[in-house]
Amino acid sequence: MQAQDTDTLTESQKKRVAFDQEIAGLQGKKLTAGQKSLVSMQDQIRAQLSENVALEKANREREIGKKLLEQTRSLVMETAEKQQEYANRNAQLTLSTDAYDQRVAEQQIREAFHQRRMQLDKEVTDKTSEQYVQQTAILAREQQRQLDIVRNAEQEKAAIEGDYTAGLKKGMMDWSANAGNVYG
């Protein structure tokens, strides 16, 4: 029975049990100077061994907490992706092709920067540090710049498509290029 119990003990617990057994084995025997010293310091040693047990337990709990946090983060991301997928399906039915393409491009930018911020949060423990604050500001600024690029490009495209003279010029250039290639 005791052998089975020791299989479930942590290393620190096993050391404490071994120490207690060693002290118990010294009772009633003629002790050497080293053994007398060990018996006289048994309370201090036992206290340190108990502290080691508590630290080992806290480390195990911290590791479990990390795993659970990662699982939760993964589930939340999967749910957000699923929600985005179905929102995009609905948007595809209600938006023009250009508006839908712009929406998807903006989502991709936001997601890419979200991933970068998550990676930064994993790597940096001090969220108040100057480097962290600067990096998050850079990420926010660059995300906005990329979103502005997509929005401006779509606005420029809409303006060009709305200008009949630009379309006429392009049509004439395409026609002349194709007409020149007829005999080529």
What secondary structure does DSSP assign to 11-61, as a single string?
HHHHHHHHHHHHHHHHTTSPPPHHHHHHHHTHHHHHHHHHHHHHHHHHHHH
- For residue 98, what are the CA distances in angstroms to 2, 52, 101, 165? 73, 63, 5, 21
Token duo for residue 43: 């309370």
Assess whether pLDDT exceeds 70 at residue 161. Answer: yes
Q: What is the pLDDT of residues 6-38, one digit of tens each?
A: 568 889 999 999 989 988 888 888 988 988 888
d(CA 39, CA 143): 66
Calculate helix-pair angle for 130-162, 164-180, nearest 10 degrees. Answer: 80
Q: What is the pLDDT of residues 58-92, one digit of tens each?
A: 999 999 999 999 999 899 989 999 999 999 999 99
Question: Within 10 Å of residue 16's Cβ, how many Cβ atoms?
Answer: 19
Chain segment 95-141, per-residue pLDDT in tens: 999 899 999 999 999 999 999 999 999 899 899 999 999 999 999 99
Q: Distance (Å, rounded) from C-alpha 63 to C-alpha 46?
A: 26
